[in-house]
C-alpha cells in the first residue's frame, strides 16, 4: 500500500481544519464549507479505496512508521499507521458519517455566527479520530484519544454563552480524564513489560505478561491490571457506567456533533480500542468479565432512563449509552466482530436518528421537548420516514441493519460462559424491551397523535405574552434531508448485505484475535444460513418478542391512552424520582465528589499552606513573627541594603572560617 496515500487521509481534513480555523472569517462561509467538505471527501474516498484494495484486491496489512516522535532511553516512539481490515472499516465509517454531517451542517448551522469555527472543529475532529483509528502504537492512540476528547470539549461548549453548555463541556472533559487516568496507567503497565509502545510488541508479549504478577493490591495479574486500566479509559470515552454521566449533558452541543461525535464515532473509540486490543484481552478472563458486566449494566439501566426523558435529543443520548453498553457486552463475551459490526450499523442509524431529531428541532424552531410536539409526521414526511427507519433499525426489527448486529450480540452473550454472563444475558435481553419502549415512545410522541405544539402556542398567549401565532412545523431543506436519506439507506440494508462477510465470514482475519475456547461467534456461524433465513428466524426469537412487547406498551401509554402514563407516574412516584434523578449519579458527583475535591483543596490551602507552613513555620511563632516583622520594618524604613550587606558579611565570615580550617 502506498504510504503517501495513507498520510493524505488524516492530513486532508487537518489542513482544511487549520485553514478554516485561522482564515475562515476571511475566506467566507461558502469557501470554508467547500474546503472542509472537500477535505473530508478526500479522506472518505481514499478510505473507501483502501477498503476496496484490502477486501477485494487482497492487499495485505500495512504497518509502518510515518516519523519518529522521539527516542528516549533507546525507546523509539513513532507516529505510524496500522491499516488492516479493522482500521479500514472504522476509517470508512468515520469519514462517511463525517461527510454526511458536514453537508448537513450547512443547513443546520446556516444562521449561526460561529459557522466557520464549527466547520473547523468538525474537520479537526475527523483528523483526530482518524489518527486514533489508524495508530499502530499506544502514544498515537492516546494522542487521538485525547484529541477527540478535546474537540468534543470545544464542541459541547460551542455555544459558550450558555451556562449549561460550559458546565457540560467541563464535566465531559474531567470525566473523560478520569477514564484517561486509567488508560495511561494501562499503557504504562504494558510499557513496563515490553519497553516499547508498538502494538505488535505488546500483542506478542501478551501471553508472557499474563504470567506476571504485580505486587499491588496483594498481587494481581499484570495483564488483567493492564487490560482493566485500558478499559477504564474506554469507560470514559464510550460512556460506560459509572463514567457515563457526561454523555447526556453533551447534548448541549449543536445537533450535528451529537450525531457525529456523541453517537457515531468518538464514543465508539472505546469499543474500537478494546477490539483492537483483543490479543491482550483474550488472555485475561477476569478483565473480560469486568467488561461484560459493565457493558450489560450500561445497556439495561441507561436504556431505562431513555423512557422517562422528554428531551428528544437526550432520549437518543440515553439510547446511545445503552447501545454502547451492548457493544461493550459483546466485547466482554469475546464477540469482538459483533461489537464492531454493531458499532458500524449503529453509526448509521444513530447518526440518522440524531440528524432527524435535529431536523425536527429546526422544524419546531429550536424546541426539543417532545411534550410540545406530536403529529409532526404530516408536516415533515421525509424526516418522519427516515426517523422511523432509524428507529426500526434501533429496535432490531428483522431485515433492518440493527437486527443483524444486535441479535448476534444477545446470542453471543447468551452463549458465553464467562463469569457474569448470566446476569449480562438477562440485561441485554430485557434491554430489547426497553429499547423498543423508548424508541416507539419517541416516534409516537414526536410524529403521531395530538398536535400538542398548538397548545404550547396557546399557553404562551394565555400567559399574557405577546400574541403568538402557531408555528406550524415545516420540512427541512434539502441539505438537511439529503444526509438523512444517505444515512437511511445503510440503516436499512447494510446489515443484510454485510452480515455474512463481516460477522460470519471471517472478514477481520488476523485483525481481531479470539482464542478458540472463547469463540462464541463460531457457534453462531455454524448455524448461519444467509441473511434471509436469519431474519425470518428472528421473528420467532425472544429479542423480537420483547421488542414487540415494548412496541405494544409504548403504543398503549403514549399514543392510545396517554393518561395511563401520567397515572403510572403518580402511582410509582418513588421509581420515577429515582429515574428522574438518573440513579443519583449526578447528585453523587456534584454533591459528594466535587464538594469533597473543593473541600480538600480549601482545607489544604487554609490549614496546610496558610496555617501550618506560613503560619507556624515561616512567620508564625512569636519569636519569628517578631524577627520577621522587624526585618520588614527595617526594609520599609530603608535598611534593606544594610540587611543585604550583613548577609554578605556573614557569608564572607563563613568562607573565611572554612579557608582557615582547610
Residues engaged in binding another protein (CB under 8 A): 67-75, 139, 142-143, 146-147, 150, 153-154, 157, 160-161, 163, 166-167, 170, 173-174, 177-178, 180-181, 184-185, 187-189, 191-192, 195, 214-216, 225, 597-598, 600-602, 604-605, 608-609, 613-614, 617-618, 628, 631-632, 635-636, 647, 651, 654-655, 658, 662
Helix (H, G, I), strand (E, B) or coil at 389: helix
Residue 214 gets the label, from left (phi > 0), alpha (psi -120 to 50) or beta, of: beta
Nearer to another protein, 5 or 654 (CB): 654
**395 within 8 A of 426, measured Cβ to Cβ:** no
Helix (H, G, I), strand (E, B) or coil at 78: strand
Provide the 8-state DSSP code for 137: B
All three cell numbers of 165:
453548555
Q: Which residues contact 31 (CB under 8 A, 6 or more apart)?
A: none
Residue 214 vs 549, nearer CB to another protein: 214
Closer CB to another protein, 555 or 588, in the complex: 588
The distance of closest approach from Cβ of residue 606 to another protein in the complex, given in angstroms and rounded to an integer, is 9
| C-alpha triplet 115, 118, 120: angle, nearest 5° | 115
Smallest distance, Å, CB 71 to another protein? 6
When the beta carbons of 207 and 630 are compared against another protein, the nearer one is: 630
The CA–CA distances, whole Å, from 21 to 24, 245, 441 equal 6, 30, 40
- Classify the phi-psi angles of 81: left when phi > 0, otherwise alpha if psi is within -120 to 50, otherwise beta: beta
Question: For residue 202, which of 282, 89, 145 has the smallest C-alpha distance?
Answer: 282
Q: How far is the CB of 187 from another protein (least distance, A)?
A: 8
Of 540 and 662, the one with the shorter C-beta distance to another protein is 662
CB of 270 closer than 8 Å to CB of 278 = no
Q: Which residue, 278 or 284, is less far from another protein as judged by CB?
A: 284
Under 8 Å between Cβ of 259 and 356: no
In this structure, the chain runs to a length of 662
b/e burial code for range 171-185 (CB count within 10 A of at least 16 → b)? bbbbbbebbbebbbb
The residue among 504, 310, 334 whose CA lies nearest residue 419 is: 334
Distance of CA 338 to the CA centre of its chain: 18
Least distance between another protein and beta carbon 7 (Å) = 14
Residue in 282, 275, 284, 385 with CA at minimum distance from that of residue 330? 275
Report, in Å, the least distance between residue 324 CB and another protein.
22
- Residue 532, exposed/middle/buried by CB under 10 A (0-12, 13-18, 19+)? exposed
Nearer CB in complex with another protein: 210/220: 220
Least Å from the CB of residue 267 to another protein: 19
Single out the residue of 232, 233, 227, 230 nearest to residue 209, CA to CA: 227
Cβ closer to another protein: 509 or 608? 608
Helix (H, G, I), strand (E, B) or coil at 357: helix
Indicate the residue among 162 and 474 with the shorter CB distance to another protein: 162
DSSP 84: S
Long-range contact set of residues 544-549: C-beta below 8 Å, sequence gap at least 24: 544/396, 544/397, 544/398, 544/432, 546/429, 546/430, 546/432, 546/433, 546/436, 547/395, 547/396, 547/397, 547/432, 547/433, 547/435, 547/436, 548/436, 549/433, 549/436
Name the minimum Å distance from CB 268 to another protein. 20
Nearer to another protein, 93 or 141 (CB): 141
Tell me 380's DSSP state: -
Least CB distance to another protein at residue 628 (A): 8
The least distance separating another protein from the CB of residue 589, rounded to whole angstroms, comes to 12
Shortest distance (Å) from residue 175 CB to another protein: 9
Estimate the share of the chain in helix, then strand, then coil, as percent rounded to the nearest 5. 75, 5, 20
CB of 280 to another protein, least distance (A): 16
Cα 353 to Cα 613: distance, rounded to the nearest angstrom: 58
Q: Which is nearer to another protein, 385 or 631 (CB)?
A: 631
**Nearest distance from C-beta of residue 236 to another protein, angstroms:** 11
CB of 67 to another protein, least distance (A): 7
Cβ closest to another protein, residue 515 vs residue 633: 633
Please say which residue, 597 or 626, places its beta carbon nearer to another protein.
Answer: 597
Of the pair 159, 585, the CB lying nearest another protein is at 159
Beta carbon nearer to another protein, 66 or 559: 66
Find the shortest distance in angstroms from Cβ 260 to another protein: 20
CB of 263 to another protein, least distance (A): 24
Nearest to 105 by CA among 477, 475, 581: 477
DSSP 285: H
Is the CB of 542 or the CB of 628 nearer to another protein?
628
Main-chain phi, psi angles of 519, to 5 degrees: -80, 80
Residue 68 is classified by DSSP as E
Instruction: Kindly list the distances between the CA atom of residue 305 and the CA atoms of 28, 369, 438, 578, 586, in Å, as whole numbers in the listed order.
Output: 42, 16, 9, 10, 13
Least distance (Å) from another protein to the CB of residue 541? 44
Measured from the CB atom, is 530 or 597 closer to another protein? Answer: 597
SS3 271: helix
CB of 624 to another protein, least distance (A): 11
The torsion of the CA quartet 479, 93, 339, 531, rounded to 10 degrees, works out to 80
Amino acid at each position: 500500500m502506498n504510504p503517501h496515500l495513507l498520510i493524505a487521509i488524516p492530513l486532508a481534513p487537518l489542513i482544511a481544519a487549520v485553514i478554516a480555523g485561522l482564515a475562515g472569517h476571511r475566506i467566507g462561509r461558502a469557501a470554508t464549507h467547500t474546503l472542509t467538505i472537500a477535505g473530508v471527501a478526500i479522506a472518505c474516498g481514499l478510505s473507501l479505496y483502501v477498503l476496496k484494495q484490502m477486501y477485494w484486491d487482497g492487499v495485505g496489512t500495512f504497518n509502518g512508521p510515518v516519523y519518529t516522535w522521539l527516542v528516549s532511553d533507546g525507546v523509539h516512539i513513532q507516529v505510524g499507521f496500522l491499516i488492516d481490515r479493522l482500521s479500514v472499516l472504522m476509517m470508512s465509517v468515520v469519514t462517511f458519517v463525517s461527510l454526511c454531517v458536514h453537508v448537513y451542517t450547512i443547513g443546520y448551522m446556516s444562521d449561526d455566527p460561529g459557522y466557520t469555527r464549527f466547520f473547523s472543529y468538525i474537520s479537526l475532529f475527523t483528523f483526530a479520530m482518524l489518527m486514533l483509528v489508524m495508530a499502530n502504537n499506544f502514544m498515537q492512540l492516546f494522542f487521538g484519544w485525547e484529541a477527540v476528547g478535546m474537540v468534543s470539549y470545544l464542541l459541547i461548549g460551542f455555544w459558550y454563552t450558555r451556562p449549561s453548555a460550559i458546565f457540560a463541556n467541563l464535566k465531559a472533559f474531567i470525566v473523560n480524564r478520569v477514564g484517561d487516568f486509567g488508560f495511561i496507567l494501562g499503557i504504562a503497565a504494558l510499557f513496563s513489560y515490553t519497553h516499547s509502545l508498538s502494538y505488535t510488541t505488546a500483542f506478542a508479549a501478551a501471553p508472557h505478561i499474563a504470567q506476571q504478577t504485580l505486587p499491588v493490591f496483594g498481587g494481581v495479574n499484570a495483564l488483567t491490571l493492564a487490560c482493566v486500566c485500558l478499559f477504564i479509559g474506554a469507560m470514559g470515552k464510550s460512556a460506560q457506567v459509572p463514567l457515563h454521566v457526561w454523555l447526556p449533558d453533551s447534548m448541549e452541543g449543536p445537533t450535528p456533533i451529537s450525531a457525529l461525535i456523541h453517537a457515531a464515532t468518538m464514543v465508539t473509540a472505546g469499543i474500537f480500542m478494546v477490539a483492537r486490543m483483543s490479543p491482550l484481552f483474550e488472555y485475561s478472563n477476569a478483565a473480560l468479565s469486568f467488561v461484560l458486566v459493565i457493558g450489560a449494566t450500561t445497556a439495561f439501566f441507561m436504556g431505562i432512563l431513555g423512557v422517562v426523558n422528554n428531551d428528544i435529543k437526550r432520549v437518543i443520548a440515553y439510547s446511545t449509552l445503552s447501545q454502547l453498553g451492548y457493544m461493550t457486552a459483546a466485547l466482554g463475551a469475546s464477540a469482538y466482530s459483533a461489537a464492531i459490526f454493531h458499532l458500524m450499523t449503529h453509526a448509521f442509524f444513530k447518526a440518522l436518528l440524531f440528524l432527524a431529531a435535529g431536523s425536527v428541532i429546526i422544524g419546531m424552531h429550536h424546541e426539543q421537548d417532545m411534550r410540545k410536539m406530536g403529529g409532526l409526521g404530516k408536516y415533515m414526511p421525509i424526516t418522519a420516514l427516515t426517523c422511523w427507519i432509524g428507529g426500526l433499525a434501533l429496535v432490531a426489527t428483522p431485515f433492518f441493519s440493527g437486527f443483524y448486529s444486535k441479535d448476534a450480540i444477545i446470542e453471543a452473550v447468551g452463549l458465553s460462559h464467562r463469569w457474569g454472563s448470566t446476569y449480562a444475558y438477562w440485561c441485554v435481553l430485557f434491554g430489547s424491551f426497553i429499547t423498543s419502549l423508548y424508541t416507539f415512545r419517541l416516534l409516537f410522541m414526536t410524529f403521531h397523535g395530538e398536535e400538542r405544539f398548538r397548545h404550547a402556542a396557546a399557553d404562551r398567549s394565555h400567559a399574557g405574552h405577546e400574541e403568538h401565532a402557531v408555528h406550524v412545523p415545516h420540512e427541512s431543506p434539502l441539505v438537511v434531508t439529503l444526509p438523512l436519506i444517505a444515512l437511511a439507506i445503510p440503516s436499512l440494508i447494510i446489515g443484510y448485505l454485510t452480515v455474512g462477510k463481516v460477522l460470519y465470514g471471517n472478514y477481520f482475519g488476523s485483525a481481531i484475535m479470539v482464542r478458540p475456547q472463547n469463540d462464541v461467534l463460531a457457534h453462531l456461524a455454524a448455524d448461519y444460513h444467509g441473511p434471509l433465513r436469519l431474519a425470518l428466524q428472528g421473528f420467532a426469537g425472544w429479542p423480537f418478542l420483547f421488542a414487540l412487547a415494548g412496541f405494544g406498551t409504548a403504543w398503549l401509554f403514549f399514543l392510545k391512552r396517554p393518561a395511563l402514563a401520567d397515572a403510572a407516574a403518580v402511582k410509582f412516584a418513588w421509581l420515577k424520582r429515582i429515574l428522574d434523578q438518573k440513579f443519583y449519579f449526578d447528585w453523587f458527583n456534584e454533591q459528594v465528589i466535587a464538594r469533597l475535591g473543593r473541600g480538600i483543596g480549601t482545607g489544604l490551602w487554609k490549614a496546610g499552606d496558610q496555617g501550618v507552613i506560613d503560619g507556624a513555620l515561616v512567620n508564625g511563632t512569636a519569636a519569628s513573627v517578631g524577627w520577621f516583622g522587624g526585618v520588614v520594618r527595617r526594609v520599609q524604613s530603608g535598611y534593606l541594603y544594610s540587611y543585604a550587606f550583613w548577609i554578605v558579611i556573614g557569608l564572607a565570615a563563613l568562607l573565611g572560617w572554612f579557608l582557615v580550617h582547610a
